[in-house]
Amino acid sequence: MALIVQKFGGTSVGDLERIRNVAGRVARTFDEGNDVVVILSAMSGETDRLLCMAEKITEFPDKREIDVLVSTGEQVTVSLLSITLQSMGYKARSMLGFQAEILTDSKFTKARILDIKASRIKGFLAEKNIVIVAGFQGIDAKGDITTLGRGGSDTSAVAIAASLRADRCDIFTDVDGIYTADPNICSKARKLKRISYDEMLEMASLGAKVLQIRSVEFAKKYDVPVQVRSSFSEEEGTMVVYEDANMEKVVVAGVTHNKNEARITLSKVPDRPGIAMQILEPIAEAGIGVDMIIQNTRAGNMTDLTFTVPKSDFEAAMAIERKIAEKIGAAEVVGDKNIAKVSVVGVGMRSHSGVASKMFSALAAENINILMISTSEIRISCVIEEKYTELAVRTLHTAFNLDEPV
Amino acid sequence: MALIVQKFGGTSVGDLERIRNVAGRVARTFDEGNDVVVILSAMSGETDRLLCMAEKITEFPDKREIDVLVSTGEQVTVSLLSITLQSMGYKARSMLGFQAEILTDSKFTKARILDIKASRIKGFLAEKNIVIVAGFQGIDAKGDITTLGRGGSDTSAVAIAASLRADRCDIFTDVDGIYTADPNICSKARKLKRISYDEMLEMASLGAKVLQIRSVEFAKKYDVPVQVRSSFSEEEGTMVVYEDANMEKVVVAGVTHNKNEARITLSKVPDRPGIAMQILEPIAEAGIGVDMIIQNTRAGNMTDLTFTVPKSDFEAAMAIERKIAEKIGAAEVVGDKNIAKVSVVGVGMRSHSGVASKMFSALAAENINILMISTSEIRISCVIEEKYTELAVRTLHTAFNLDEPV
């Protein structure tokens, strides 16, 4: 007998029919002799519907009230799943964030979990209930409702699994696991049986939007084995776990790509201390996130500074930089939306050299020009022209021996 | 400066436009220098929409889960009103049942309020917030969400007013006060400036569905002055207060009618001890409420027993009684759906005699036959043929000098 936490996202509970499917899957896990705690998101579209009402009232609604409003979405799904399980003859109990004592800080709409008491969850489990907890929501020290930000139900699930010392946390989603590359553009992509927390973190931040990044950080910190699997099939998914010796043997675990960034270059910038700050601070102040930053030294006292921003913020960032270029005396501002970032990720890189040169030569062999490079301990990312994205992913997938099962 | 509690029903918060109207009214009360606590219902239709989902899953959904589900309705409206008031420049804070510490028993879907701590409400008021509390909902000793039954937001409002020792509790509804009779059938009906708790209780139970009966009991018990007034006009409404000497001078405060009952008679019933119980117990067991009961003695060891039930339960009650009649040897079961009940209500009856005879003679003068009679200390009710309802109401209104302002 094990204690298993199962999290289902918005599409999995999108209507009563789908809630019935979820109930069936939960019931099977219970029938196999396990204790089961279920974490649910709101019905898909519901959070946006509620937000839309608030935004019709005012452009910047108060975040405390937004959390009161949107937390109703999960409240509806947990009660409906509980009723469905009961109608099938199972004992079930729904719980909201405040009842499960999911204590967070007071940063409304993006709160962080501080502690979970879980005593009532344990009490309900002891009475052989299937316990269904509203994801995405918590309560702060003053008793106000908070929410954890987009994808926060993943974090709810992992945090509850951690506090209950669950044997496993299953994240049911609309993909059936983590792949060596996006199967839509790389037909040889394979589902990974296992991946390390660190690799998952890099993949998540690179655009493989399967798990909220914070949930992976939580899983790593508290050593919660997480399984990413499909709501719509019985297949086993991908286990996200601590790295082990076997994982290190594989140099590259996967290839990811991201087409959602754009590049901005200020050329012939007077090269003096503090110039990078002058260029980038106004971008941060406008709430625009910068990913990669590269500065090249030119001949003379000139430098070129290039950085990437989300495509959706491109026009705003360009407008800001045109003003700055004038102020600091830069020659010109050049923007490029037709870029993509391809990355190779793997904990094996820590103990293997030559990964970067292998990556560069593989891309060069296909005449793919590299525009920018950035690296971490377990990742190498190259910015290339967008039109080469699919070719680059397939090329790297082959070059790093990912086409064949290990 | 006063502390005023204002309650708005579902039609008053039915959409964002109407919520804006409510915000305007609340803001005016605040601007006049008052502390304001607002109690809201769910948007009209929302509670039914949620219940309908649960009933699609199973005929008898668990009541604990129903309360989790339907309490989201008020959660949405309180956050939206708070956001609206803030967008107008006011400080506002929403609160749910558990946050306002509205402690109830654990009778889900029809819980009763046991206590209200209200310390957080007071804290928010001290910071000059307009406080907006979700009506209809509370929390039991175990921390489970409860709801107070249909119309429960009235009771929330009065109970919160009592716990805060508010100067007044305004119930905003779609009528503008309590009338001496239904203005739709009696053109001379006048709005009452004041009415006593006891009269209001009688009127409420007689079908003037303006206030939930329990809210009036609460107001009486804790001496909360309640004003019933319209959401859609600025006019003063009717104050519901303790009776005073002036009220006793008026013999009859109002005339009410109720067309929602039906009459069932078992004739030639063997007259022996326990026979009434045999006839009525199965009706109670079927969950059907009986209003009036009358037993006439016939010649011989025979009796006739007549009672009234809600029209919606008439067929079910008839089926039950036909079986019983056979079992106990009654001659026949006669049903009549074409009846109505007209009543006169007034605390002045306590000190004035002759009210009943005046009522009977007024009806007789119009050739209206009385089918049943029942009385309380401050009420006399007659069941008559339904077709005479409007005539009877107008006749009694004139007979008891209600046509002219006092």
Asked, for residue A373, whether it belongs to a domain, the answer is no
What span, in angstroms and rounded, lies between the C-alpha atoms of B271 and A299?
119
Q: What is the pLDDT of residues A13-28, one digit of tens each?
A: 999 999 999 999 999 9
* B59 to chain A: closest CA residue: A87
Q: Do B64 and A93 touch (CB under 8 A)?
A: yes
Residues 6+ away with beta carbon under 8 Å from B164: B3, B5, B37, B118, B121, B122
What pTM did the predictor assign?
0.84
- What is the structure's pLDDT at A406? 64
Residue A70, in any domain of the structure? yes
Residue of A nearest to B79 (CA): A65
Contact B54 A79 (CB under 8 A): yes
**Facing B54 at nearest CB: one of A56, A83, A143:** A83
What is the C-alpha to C-alpha distance for residues B94 and A68, in angstroms, rounded to an integer? Answer: 8
Residue B321 within a domain: no
- Per-residue pLDDT tens digits for B104-120: 999 999 999 999 998 99
Greater confidence (A207 vs A172) lies with A172
Interface size between A and B, measured as CB pairs under 8 A? 108
Q: What is the pLDDT of residues B150-179, one digit of tens each?
A: 889 999 999 999 999 999 999 998 888 999
User: What pLDDT is recorded for position A150?
Assistant: 82
Please report whether residue B30 resides in a domain: yes
- With beta carbons less than 8 A apart as the criterion, state whether B369 and B384 touch: yes
The pLDDT confidence band at residue A118, using thresholds 50, 70 and 90, is: confident
The minimal CB distance from A75 to the residues B61, B72, B98 is found for: B72
In angstroms, rounded to a whole number, what is the distance separating the alpha carbons of residues B182 and B303? 37
Which among B56, B61, B82 has the least Cβ separation from residue A65? Answer: B82
pLDDT tens digits, residue range A306-343?
999 999 999 999 999 999 999 999 999 999 999 999 99
Domain membership of residue B101 (yes or no) is yes
- In the prediction, which pLDDT does A303 show? 87
Residue B391: the pLDDT is: 97
Interface of B with A in 1-20 (CB under 8 A): 16, 19-20
Reference A376, options A341, A339, A349; nearest CA is A349
CB atoms A53 and B78 under 8 Å: no
Q: Is A65 on the interface with B (CB under 8 A)?
A: yes
Q: What is the β-pairing status of strands B92-95 and B35-40?
A: unpaired
Structural domain boundaries, residue A116: 3-174
| Mean pLDDT of chain B, nearest integer | 93
Average pLDDT for B228-246:
89
What confidence tens digit (pLDDT) does each residue in A350-389 have?
A: 888 889 999 999 999 999 999 999 888 899 999 999 999 9
The tens digit of pLDDT for each residue in A121-145 reads: 999 999 999 999 999 999 999 999 9
Check residue B176 and give its pLDDT: 87
CB contact under 8 A, A65 and B94: yes
- pLDDT value of position A392: 97
Position B13 in a domain = yes
**Mean pLDDT throughout A260-268?**
93
Our count of domains for chain B comes to 1
Classify residue B286: in a domain, yes or no: no
CATH of the domain at B117: 3.40.1160.10
Residues of A in contact with B143 (CB under 8 A): 98-99, 120
Whether the pLDDT of residue A115 is over 90: the answer is yes
- Among the partner-chain residues B62, B69, B78, the one whose CB lies closest to the CB of A68 is B78
Examine the pLDDT at B328 and tell me if it is beyond 80. yes
**Residue A297 counted as domain residue:** no
**The predicted structure's pLDDT at residue B61:** 95
Could you read off the pLDDT of B329-386 as tens digits, one per residue?
999 999 999 999 999 999 988 888 889 999 999 999 999 999 999 888 899 999 999 9
Q: Pick the residue with more confidence: A354 or B262?
A: B262
Q: What is the pLDDT of residues B284-323, one digit of tens each?
A: 998 898 988 888 877 778 888 999 999 999 999 999 999 9
**pLDDT of amino acid B83:** 98
Q: What does the pLDDT read at residue B297?
A: 75
Q: Tell me how far apart the alpha carbons of residues A164 and B200 are, in angstroms, rounded to a whole number.
A: 54
Residues A171 and A211 sit within 8 Å (Cβ to Cβ): yes
